[in-house]
Amino acid sequence: MKPVSKLDVERYFTGELTGAEADQIERAMDSRPELKEYYQELQGDKNVFLAKHPYRDFVKGNQRKASSPLVRVLQWFSVPRPVWVAVPLVLVLGIAYFFQQHPHVLPDKNPGIRYKSPVALDFLVRRNGEVQPGNTDHVYRAGDAVQFLYTANSFKYISLLSVDQSGKLSFYSPQSAASLPAKPGGGQPFPHSVELDAAPGGELFIALFTQASLSRKDAAKILGLPSAESRGDIQRIQKHLQAGLPEETQAATLYLKKEK
């Protein structure tokens, strides 16, 4: 039997391998963390890519490429003149009037709470194979895969944790450490997506940004909990984070609503 390579993982990832071949890849990923990591990286890249360039963008792009600039201009001017002047004008005036009357409905572009910016936490959600930008007003359900995107700026490590309504603390890092090395630049995908479980109610996701790697115990302490096994109250943790953070530490949180 030939050793499993990254190319094989790519074929497995794109669904080209089934049956015994797929089983072989799954076994190889269990025993070789670098292959598992590569698979998770492919999954993360896919989520980010499809959110940024959905299929409709590809279709639009090709339509643009297929028609010359002259054709495009002619297509535009082939619409009767009163329509192409009036429609955008009515739309713009209508939207402006609506927001003037209802200022409270203006969308908050990044609903995640940030403590001492400039770090940030955002997310995408994959449901039934479709990837959508995350929205903290939506109610998510068990099985939804959440891909977190972080902006760590000059911080070297990120620790991702969550607390559910029952107070259970979860870490999204391998073994006993809480931290993973953070990549520079905005909107970096967390190395793997998080599948929401069936625990009812909302869940608070917390990203801690630090200059040194944190143990799970250290991370729990920052949330005001005595140990990594302790149960925590969401409101109390939020208040604790707002009250202050240790030096060279920043945090960003997202509260995701889940079906009850």
Partner 1 sequence: MENNESASGELNVGEVYKKYASVVYGRCLKILWSEDEAWDATQDVFMKLHQSQSTLQKSGSVLYWLHRTTTNHCISVLRRKRGVAYQEEAHAGNDSANPERALAAKQMLQKLFGPWNKVVREIIVYTYIDGYTQAEISKLTGLGESTIRKYLTKFRRKAQELRGGLEAS
Token pair, residue 138, equals: 């939506």
> Contact 23/32 with Cβ under 8 angstroms?
no
Instruction: Check residue 201 for interaction with partner 1 (CB under 8 A).
Output: no
**Taking the complex as a whole, how short is the minimal distance between the CB of residue 45 and partner 1, in angstroms?**
5
Interaction of residue 10 with partner 1, rule CB under 8 A = yes
Burial of 199 (0-12, 13-18, 19+ CB in 10 A): middle
Per CB under 8 A, does 34 bind partner 1?
no
Whole-number minimum distance, CB 46 to partner 1, in Å? 4
Of 150, 158, 153, give the one whose Cα is nearest residue 187: 150
Q: Which residue in 27, 30, 33, 49 binds partner 1 (CB under 8 A)?
A: 49
> Which positions ≥6 away from 177 have C-beta within 8 Å?
213, 214, 215, 216
**Residue labelled with tokens 């977190």:** 148
How far, in Å, CA of 214 to CA of 220, rounded? 10
The smaller minimum CB distance to partner 1, of residues 58 and 77, is found at 58
Q: CA 121, CA 6: separation in Å to the nearest integer?
A: 30
Under the binding rule (CB under 8 A), the answer on residue 46 touching partner 1 is: yes
CA 18, chain centre distance (Å): 29
Q: How far is CA 70 from CA 49, 67, 73, 84, in A?
A: 31, 8, 5, 18
Judged by CB under 8 A, the residue of 5, 117, 227, 242 near partner 1 is 5
Judged by CB under 8 A, does residue 45 bind partner 1?
Answer: yes
Of the pair 58, 99, the CB lying nearest partner 1 is at: 58
Give Cα 109 to chain centroid, integer Å. Answer: 14
Q: Among the candidate windows 44-52, 135-143, 156-164, 212-220, which touches partner 1 by CB under 8 A?
A: 44-52
**13 is a site residue for partner 1 (CB under 8 A):** yes
Which region among 52-60, 83-91, 193-201, 235-243 touches partner 1 (by CB under 8 A)?
52-60
Q: How far is the CB of 124 from partner 1 (least distance, A)?
A: 13
Kindly state the number of chain residues that form the binding site for partner 1, as judged by CB under 8 A.
23
11 binds partner 1 (CB under 8 A): yes
Binding site for partner 1 (CB under 8 A): 2, 5-7, 10-11, 13-16, 42, 45-46, 48-50, 53, 55, 58, 61-62, 65, 129
